Structure 1
Amino acid sequence: MSALRVLSTLAVAGAMRGMVPRMEAAAGVPVAAEFAPTQGLMPRLRGGEAADLVILTAEGIAELAAEGLVDPASAVDLVRSHIGIAVRAGAPHPEIGTAEALRAALLEAPCVAYSRSGASGIAFAALIERLGIAEAVNARAKVIPAGFTAELAVRGEASLAVQQVSELLAVPGIELVGRLPAEVGTVAVFSAAIPRASAQPEAAGRLIRFLASAEAAPVLEAAGLEPIAAG
């Protein structure tokens, strides 16, 4: 029995890794998931890389559907995700409750870590431009191509880590300071869909239904995500 190959955004990595046995029971086959930013997965899928199920930003799924690479009828919005800030466990928590407080915290931080290609990193880069602090922040920032920014905070290489809350919580040894304030924060929607070339579309459909179910919702919530259509 071949494994169901899943290419997924990092945002749901922590939650999915915590419920592999239940995912496999729901799908009826072993599940082999690989996690990377949406912007890293899109070129691979466009280049013909095989996958049975994809979980990407809603915008990414829509683009692939328009290009005929995924079945739009299979698409399901799974979760909403907020961008947050984390520090190494035991480190002081800066005040980030307002846009002005966040601006001050970012300017005072010795080093801010964010991702270049993830949805959170793209949004954060635009945010510091809007706040007028991009040059100052980037002069001391650690910008990683992909992966978990909180790992830099744990290692002491960055004082603040910026990423989707679920991605921050996936790293042991950090403390979540909180979400970006609503006035400047962005909400991402992550969706699942079945590629038209999927070798196991029925198993993929069963896994999507599980991930969108009430059974999966508590795990998604514990991982820092907001389930959209549990039931």
Structure 2
Amino acid sequence: MKISVKHLMGAACLLAAGTAQVSAEEIKVMTSGGFTAAYQKLGPAFATAHGDTLTTILGPSMGKAPEAIPNRLDRGEQADVVIMVGYALDELIKQGKIEPGSRVELADSRIGAVVRAGAPRVSVGTPEALRETLLHARSIAYSDSASGVYVQNELFAKLGVADQVKPKSKMIEKTPVASVVAKGDYELGFQQVSELLPVKGATFVGKIPESLQSVTRFAGAVPKGAAHAAEARALLQYLASPAVQPTVRATGLDSVSAQ
């Protein structure tokens, strides 16, 4: 996706700068699924205000897929900003691939469930209800990201249903879980709420109980060798600013400042 907006700064900025024009830059942003909806809503306003172009590269925060952000960086792909799961970003920091001090906390993401639009609503709001829903579901899908790893390796076991649900459960690679539920391939799907809500044809059921949640922190940073480090830092500060938090929360995320 490309957001291409190249304008002069706003009137107030122009008055301050006289007749000088803002130098437009192409800022390359690698972002993983959980924060993408918020970024797509907020990015155009930043681009307009700064006169820059945002070039967006989508990919998971981890995993073996060539599209995964760490694998892209390993291949030498250039980026000015990376937005990803916090602990995956920590690994890049340990590897020396991130500019020191550039990490910015962006949002927390919780796990929710969907069914196909028009299907009977199910309950996942209490441990007992979630357990019964899992046992009665004909098929279950979950993502290949942090939330899906938790569902597969921990959530089922905590509910004591791992053996019963394993034969009818599937980790979905690359594809949004809600989309395979919307097509009718699976009856019940789990993923981070912010990745479920944008998909048409699926009905959001709700978040899993807080006592069983796995909260994923999303953060951004500037990779070593970024061509536009100053602009990248400005974008991250904007995405984390109090003024944009209503938009962040509307996409299904939780503000870091609210925790």
Specify if TM > 0.5. Answer: yes
Aligned to 1:174: 202
Residue 213 of structure 1, CA deviation = 1.3
Which of residues 96, 104, 125 is equivalent to 1:68? 96
Matched to 1:192, the amino acid is G
Residue 138 of structure 1, CA deviation = 2.9
Which of residues 26, 36, 40 is equivalent to 1:3? 26
Residue 46 of structure 1, CA deviation = 3.2
Listed one character per residue, the Cα deviations across residues 86-114 of structure 1 (whole Å, up to 9, x for unaligned) are 11222222121222221211111111111
Does 1:214 find its partner at 2:242? yes
Q: Is the 8 A contact 2:25 2:228 kept in 1?
A: no
Of 16-25 and 179-188, more deviation after overlay is shown by 16-25
Q: Is the 8 A contact 1:36 1:147 kept in 2?
A: no
Residue 50 of structure 1, CA deviation = 1.4
* Pair 164,131 (structure 1): closer, same or farther in 2 beyond 3 Å: same
| CA distance in structure 1 between the partners assigned to 2:197 and 2:42 by the alignment | 16
Q: Is the 8 A contact 2:42 2:239 kept in 1?
A: no
Does 1:105 find its partner at 2:128? no
Residue 2 of structure 1, CA deviation = 5.0
Higher relative contact order, structure no. (Cα contacts within 8 Å, ≥ 6 residues apart): 1
Aligned to 1:119: 146
Larger radius of gyration: 2
Listed one character per residue, the Cα deviations across residues 29-53 of structure 1 (whole Å, up to 9, x for unaligned) are 1111122221122232234321110
- TM-score normalised to structure 2 length: 0.82
Matched to 1:123, the amino acid is Y
Matched to 1:74, the amino acid is S
| CA distance in structure 2 between the partners assigned to 1:211 and 1:80 by the alignment | 13
Does 1:31 find its partner at 2:31? no
| CA distance in structure 2 between the partners assigned to 1:27 and 1:66 by the alignment | 32
Of 205-214 and 88-97, more deviation after overlay is shown by 88-97
Q: Is the 8 A contact 2:134 2:165 kept in 1?
A: yes
Matched to 2:46, the amino acid is M
Residue 200 of structure 1, CA deviation = 0.6
Matched to 2:121, the amino acid is H
Residue 25 of structure 1, CA deviation = 2.7
Matched to 1:25, the amino acid is T
* Pair 68,26 (structure 1): closer, same or farther in 2 beyond 3 Å: farther
Structure 1 spans left out of the alignment, 5+ residues: none
Aligned to 2:12: none
* Pair 48,99 (structure 1): closer, same or farther in 2 beyond 3 Å: same
Does 1:18 find its partner at 2:41? yes
SS of 1:215 mapped into structure 2: helix
Structure 2 spans left out of the alignment, 5+ residues: 1-23, 63-67
Q: Is the 8 A contact 1:80 1:190 kept in 2?
A: yes
CA RMSD of superposed structures (Å): 1.8
5 Å matches for 1:46-85?
Answer: 46-85=74-113
Residue 170 of structure 1, CA deviation = 1.8
SS of 1:199 mapped into structure 2: coil
